Amino acid sequence: MNQVPIRIALADDSDLMLAGAKATLENEPGYQVVGCASLLADLLACMDAWNPQVVILSEWLYDTDILGAVEQILARQADIAILVLGALTDGLLIQELLTKGVKGYLYRADALCPHLPLAVASVLRGKVFLSPTASAEYLTSRHSPEPKPLLDKTALAVLKRLAQGQTISQIALALHIPRRQVYSIRARLRRRFHADTNEHLISRAVAEGFAWLPNG
């Protein structure tokens, strides 16, 4: 009897990475790539059509940030296994992703061919997978003598809206919280990202994968 293949969806803003990941996975028996996307909307449509067991995506799609993408993917299909194939080695971002429900992180500079199939096999068994560089950065951030706090849902929402150019008043109205709370959250965000201005905060957050610029 032929084994039913594991259905995998891929999402990345790089056609080259999509092609490489697809070729690597389909070279392994039992894996089927059911769709490739560069936009979150296209990825969600692929999920609706194919009901994949695994999604592999980068930190940057063309229309969203990685944390927002993870939230929407899990809202669509709570039992799906998400792997991030990224170019960042920020240990705190990896912590945030694992907290949000991501099952693994592969750093692109780590060898793709041996690690990607192994990562898929690991998360399907319910195990978290970190490639060597990602694992080292994650452990360093976890054991830092001055660990940075994880960002709660409200802080992430404020950060996202700041990146969209919204004012304090607009953010307070949209999130139904007092303006003084938004000011307080912005101050904490600036301390977290070592930023003196909104522009500096947003640029640091984008560089570390926590936010996305609509015109970026």
Q: Is the pLDDT of residue 215 over 70?
A: no
Tokens 């000011």 correspond to 183
Q: Is the pLDDT of residue 2 over 70?
A: no
**94 and 104 in contact (C-beta within 8 Å)?**
no
What H or E segment, with its residue span, contains residue 183?
helix 179-192
The confidence score (pLDDT) of residue 119 equals 95
Query: pLDDT band at residue 214, thresholds of 50, 70 and 90?
Result: low
The confidence score (pLDDT) of residue 149 equals 67
**Third-level CATH fold of 153-207:** Arc Repressor Mutant, subunit A (1.10.10)
The confidence score (pLDDT) of residue 160 equals 86
More confident residue, 194 or 75: 75
Q: Is the pLDDT of residue 3 over 80?
A: no
Q: Is the pLDDT of residue 147 over 70?
A: no
Q: Which amino acid, residue 111?
A: A
Domain 6-142 matching CATH 3.40.309.10: the answer reads: no
What's the chain's average pLDDT?
88
Query: 162: exposed, middle or buried (C-beta count within 10 Å: 0-12, 13-18, 19+)?
Result: buried
Instruction: Report pLDDT digits (tens) over 48-101.
Output: 999 999 999 988 776 778 888 999 999 999 999 999 998 877 888 898 899 999
Q: Hey, where are the domains in the chain?
A: 6-142, 153-207
The confidence score (pLDDT) of residue 62 equals 65
Instruction: Report pLDDT digits (tens) over 154-184.
Output: 888 898 889 888 999 999 999 999 999 999 9
Q: Is the dihedral of CA 195, 197, 201, 207 positive or negative?
A: negative
- Tell me the whole-structure pTM to 2 decimals: 0.77
Residue 172 CA, chain-centre distance (Å), reads 26
